[in-house]
Structure 1
Amino acid sequence: MKSLPPKSPHGCAPLEPLIYIVDDDPGMNDALANLLRSVGMRSRSFLTAEEFLAVKIDDSPSCVVLDVRLRVANGLEVQREMNQRGMCLPVVFITGYGDIEMSVRAMKAGAVDFLTKPFRDQDFLDAVSAAIAVDRTKRHALQCGDDLRARYATLSEREREVMTLAASGLMNKQIAGKMGISEVTIKIHRARAMRKMAARTFADLVKMALELGLCPPRGASPAAPRPGDGAAQPAAMGY
């Protein structure tokens, strides 16, 4: 299933991509900006790394087109500084002095592509499109995580406890004994948790619990039961 484009916080229209261009050659900046404009893509240009690093990153799906050899800073150093500042955008490196060692270092550092000047317009557009796709996917995953945490926040304390214990593999009867309430009440809490979490099946609820870190993955070695904890032997055998 394809990820939907991120929506604007003020409306329903998807946010248009924004490409940041960092190159100390004004002519190259203008040429790349014009090329992107010709295919309907927005861009912002910067002549120095300092100017770019000081900018507030837009909420749109974005990427950075970064020259490896800037006058003051090395592009790989700029990429590290971006990550340290939380500017975790996909990077497309461009350079007129590319070599294999440098390109390998760039790709290991997380670059989407490494283009050596002069490059074809289509190669550049393909690299930018791939970088934007990477950022869209990342933003979608983060948005899903935020939505999941927001739904979990609506659960009562009892519903959270039931969700955690059920996702950990305990039967309703075992959860009831552990919490000191009736099995019927456990079923009610479990149903409410599933409704509030928008879980269509119990398997969906387990997956959500794992994503939230509420319980260890199935198959992980469980802690040894404490004496008197009421754990039944069949449950320990996976029934």
Structure 2
Amino acid sequence: MGEEVECISFFQGHQTTPSVVTVKDGTFLAGELALGCAHINPENNIFHIKRMIGRSFEDDIIKSFKRMWPFEIRPEENKLQIQINDKMYYPEDVLTELALHLKSTAKEYLAMDVTHAVVAVPYHFSRVKNTSSIVHRIRIECEKLKRYFIKLDSITVSIDSIYNCRSLVVEISKSMFFSWISNHLKTCMTIVDRVLVKAGCSHIDEIILVGGSTRIPKVSELLREKFHGVQIKHFKPDEAVARGAAIFGHLIQNNDSPKMLIQEIDKLIATR
């Protein structure tokens, strides 16, 4: 294509797709379609797939997360498997279904076969159980609505027929939300300090925020206070990794020193 990075539109024009896979009548659904079925059979809805890759059943991360997973996981030698009804799947199997969904979308958009891809993975890659349908619906709705705190001082969580034909209507103010996450924000700033010390950096000219939680206004506010008004760039954080992978793929295709990028990534990982 050209020299500019272009993000492909998915279902209903969205430029990102949820890392969610569900099994319905023995068939895999991925992305938005899977998310739309999450409240019907939450025990068949698989998410946090990338967190499972490369980890064993006894991994501390797995133990902490499985309490909130509606699906069952089982030990399998030094790995883990996901149980949906009477069938077992490795996390890699589920991730493959998500990758096939992405490939199909790209093929339809580009009107050509897609034969190669660059996959960005968590840096650890190479090294409440039975959640009810009600809780799952609340979690999904809150996840969507919390983003409105960027512009609004309060939001209203409203879910129809949540229990015995009764609806849930709860107003949450921005101050309430910030008070609930204050300890997490302090931890973030502590990590920033640790990273700067390990990287040997003393002067910061510009900050680029990446990740879903960076949309929270308080994150930018705390960083501005810490770095005395340094410029903070905001762009679509969900696309940042995809754009980086696309640029890396372009370098590989043109044999244009991709090792430089790998070294920079390794340096970043070392500061964690």
Higher fraction of strand: 2
* TM-score under structure 2 length normalisation: 0.21
* TM-score under structure 1 length normalisation: 0.23
